[in-house]
Every structure is written in C-alpha cells, then in structure tokens.
Amino acid sequence: MSVQDPFYLTGNNLSVEDLAVLSSGGSPEIALDDKGLAVMADARAIVQEAITSRTPVYGVTTGLGAQATNALNEEDLTAFSYQTVRGRAHAVGKFLPREIVRAAMIIRLNTLLIGGSGASPSVAEYLMKCLNLGLTPAVGEHGSIGAGDLVLNATWALALIGEGTMLNDDGSSIPSLQALNGKSIAPIELGPRDGLALCNNTSMSAAFASMGIAGAEAAFRKAEIAAALSLQAFQSNLSPFEAGILAISPKPGQNNASERLLTILEGSQVTEPGRARRLQDPLSLRNLPQIHGAVVTALEQAHEAVMPELNGISDNPVVLIEEKKILSSGAYFTPQLTNALEALSRSFAHITMAQIARMSKLLNPSYSDLSLFLSQPGSASNGFAPVMKTAEALACDLVQKAQPAPLWPSINANGTEDVLAATPTAAKALLAIVELSEQLSAVETLIAMRAIDMIEPTVKLGPRLKGVYDTIRALVPDEQYDRPLARDIETIAQMKLPV
C-alpha cells in the first residue's frame, strides 16, 4: 500500500492499513480536508447557540455521569473543559507504544472532521500539528473498560494542555510542557465542549483494535507460509483443497484460504499429480482450508466492526447539523467490536493447535518417513525435540490470551454507567496473540525447512516458496548439529517474507 504525502483526512477515508502507516510517524505528513473543518465550524455554531440559550446539553451545559443533572453557568464552561481532562487523566501502568497513542490521536482527528463532536476547529488543527511534529503523549496502558475510553483519552489530552508527559524517541518521558516548548508550540487552548470531545470517544479502543487487526493480517500470512512449507515437507495430498471438494460444504472463508495456500505453493512439487505420499493426511494438514478459512472470515468481520470507529461518530452528546440538535448518544459503546476481536483471537487458537500438530508429525518418522526429530541419522542429537517445549509454551500463552474478556455489571457513575464493553482488553489480547503467533510460525518454518532439506535433491519448490526459502536461508543457515535456535526464531518472526 502506498500512502500519498501529505495524507488528507476527510472524516471518512481512514482504513486500518492507512492508520498503520500514519501511526508509525515520519512521512507522510497529515493534512486536513477544508470541508471537514467547515463542517466542524457549522457544528460548533450549534453548540454555541445551546450555550447562549442555556439549553440543557449533557457535558456541554451540564455535568458528566452522575452529575448530569447539574447545570453549569456559561462563565464556567471553559474551565469545565479543563476540569474534564484533569479529572479523568488516571491511566496507569507501563507506557503504551508510540504507535498506539498516535493511532488514537489520528482516529480522533479524523472523526472530529465529521462534525458530530461539536469541538472547535482549532482542536483538529492542533492535533494535526502535534502529530506532524512527532509529539506523542505518554499514556499508561490501563484505564479503559471500553465505554468511551475516558481515562486513556484524558491522559493524552492532559499532555496537550501542558500538564502531562510526552514520550521521547527512546521511550522515556519528559514533562509535556518541556516537549511542547522544544517544538515551539504552546499548549492547546480549550473552549466549552472541547475537553469532553477529546476525552469521550472510542479512539483508543479503535487504535488498539486497528493495530491488532493489522498485526493479525501479517501474522496470518506468516502462518500461511509456515503451513505451505509443512505441506511441501510432508509431501501432502492436496485433494481436500480442490474447489469441487470445498463446494460440497461451502463454509465461509475456506475457498479463499485454499486459494491463498495454493498460490504460495504454485509450481512446487507437492502440487504435481501423483506426488502425495498418503491417501489421507492428518487433519492439521488436510483441514487447512477450514482452519484458515475461519481466520479469513474473522479478519473480514473485524475490519467491518472497526470501520465505524475510524470513520464514524463515537461522541456523547452528538451534534446533528442538519437538524440543528444536540442529542445524547450511545455510539461510544462497542460490544460488536469486542466480539469481532475475540472471534479473531479465537481463530488464531485453532491455527496454533494445527501448527503444534503438524510439527509433531514432521518430527515423527511414522508420519514423515524422515529421521526421528529430524536429527542427523546416527548422531546422539535430539534434533528439534527440545524446541517443541518452546512451541508449546507459546501455544499455551496464546490460547490463554484467546479467552473472552470478562464482563460484569459496572458500578461506574453511581450506577448510571452500569455496563461495559471491555474492548481494550480484547484488543490488547489480540496484540499479544499476534506476537506469539509470529514466533510460533517461525518455529514451524524452521522445522519444515529442515525437513525439506533432508529430502533434497528430490524436492522442488515453486518460485514463491523458493523465494521464501532463499530469503530465510540467507540469514538462518541450516547447520546439522545442536545449537541455540532462539535468535533464529526471533529473526524469522520479525522478517517480511516475499510472498
């Protein structure tokens, strides 16, 4: 994907892929669509009219949460914006990665341009300036239950008003006022409604989710490559991958998954008629279209669920510009996204179990027709047997992360905010699963490549699989003796493979 410089945010053009590029920092710069700023100005005029007419509007002319029935005086409204930020900036724990915080700021910036928040256009312009200058607030990882991300958002907003902390390039933190001064920029000036507009939205949940989904796409590709290498190493029977067989029970995603694997294998010996060693392979090989098909479907659903958070309004209250109304909203509540993320995480648990099973088959002479543990024949080596402990440890941690996030009736705001969505918990679990999955796929890749090496020179790899093999072997030599594999596993896990 190529993102143009500058990248103009419009309020409705942000994708997960765009966000992954923009959140990494540097080029491209972010710019704002003039129409979006004009819409913000129109919405802001409606907010000002409500203030002038003393119309009761939640969080604008009244307090928040359990204080929603308390009316505020006009002269107090600007101070209330600052109070809203200061009174909710309670995130704790280790600082989130820069990419996550930048992603949240970009999402909030994009959704401000829709106009529903009623925030001042100057807020959007300030966010753009901070992002382009590389100013990233330091935000602790804990503080959101998924009903508006108030605490996490307020913590990064606190940095913008010059009272929080910012991240240095090395991950350390400095007082935000010092960081702002270093870039010759003053703290943001908040007007009425602006503090709540920065705090009460789903930008942090959406940031976690988007980075998790983007990571899952990459991790799935590595799992596919590892599976394709195992299919070749096992000299598998690919008849279950044929379109006619799949058509008898058209499960979601399985055709796509099969086509993706066959594309990677194209030109490889395993695709040639009569090359299969067995009439039927173990399920971890035979049922790859179904196992991977579940991931394909889960990825599609996760993309669909996160898009409203990237290009929609998650504020409360919301300005309806054409109707000239400001109404309460439930758009910040995201159980659909939680469910989609959990389904995606769970689909990786199925991948994981199949990987463990395939590796065990390649190490077992009864199935592979190769030496025990792929060790050098006649030696005292246990080959890859010890690294299976690492593989199962990764699998154990991954499956635990793939459990649903806990839910309970919330006690927040004196019982007014009495349910939660737990979206950040589900999204952070997916982010952890991505890392574990990439390491596990690296182990399978190492084992499958050793098996392929042991059946040389009879094996033939197609151009895509050969490209992967050569790329890995350039950095990870195949040495026929016991040696530490941790560095090799990490190297392969972090590689971008040419498929």
For 281-322, the pLDDT digits (tens) are: 999 999 999 999 999 999 999 999 999 999 999 999 999 999
Per the listing, tokens 């060790």 go with 375
For the cut 70, the answer to whether the pLDDT of residue 1 exceeds it is no
Per the listing, tokens 């007014």 go with 416
Q: Which two tokens stand for residue 275?
A: 């090359």
pLDDT tens per residue across span 102-128: 999 999 999 999 999 999 999 999 999
Look over the chain and give the mean of its residue pLDDT values, rounded to a whole number: 94
| pLDDT at residue 5, rounded to an integer | 84
| pLDDT at residue 54, rounded to an integer | 81
| pLDDT at residue 440, rounded to an integer | 98
Q: Which two tokens stand for residue 461?
A: 């790899």
For the cut 70, the answer to whether the pLDDT of residue 71 exceeds it is no
Structural domains present in the chain? 7-201 (1.10.275.10), 209-312+335-494 (1.20.200.10)
| pLDDT at residue 478, rounded to an integer | 79
- 63: pLDDT confidence band, cut at 50, 70 and 90? low
- 189: pLDDT confidence band, cut at 50, 70 and 90? very high
Q: Is the peptide bond before 175 cis (omega within 30 degrees of 0)?
A: no
For the cut 80, the answer to whether the pLDDT of residue 95 exceeds it is yes
pLDDT tens per residue across span 309-319: 999 999 999 99
For the cut 90, the answer to whether the pLDDT of residue 69 exceeds it is no
Q: What percent of the chain has pLDDT over 90?
A: 85
Mean predicted confidence (pLDDT) in 46-65: 79
Mean predicted confidence (pLDDT) in 13-33: 94
| pLDDT at residue 480, rounded to an integer | 65
Q: Which two tokens stand for residue 226?
A: 């590892």
pLDDT tens per residue across span 413-454: 888 889 999 999 999 999 999 999 999 999 999 999 999 999
- 64: pLDDT confidence band, cut at 50, 70 and 90? low
Closest CA to 441 of 403, 401, 367, 495: 495
* Least-confidence region, from 83-87, 96-100, 194-198, 456-460: 456-460
End-to-end Cα separation, the chain, in angstroms: 15
* Least-confidence region, from 20-29, 212-221, 238-247: 20-29
Alpha-carbon distance values, 95 to 25, 85, 168, 173 (Å): 17, 19, 11, 9
Angstrom distance (rounded) from CA 37 to CA 472? 49
Residue 321 phi, psi (nearest 5): -65, -50
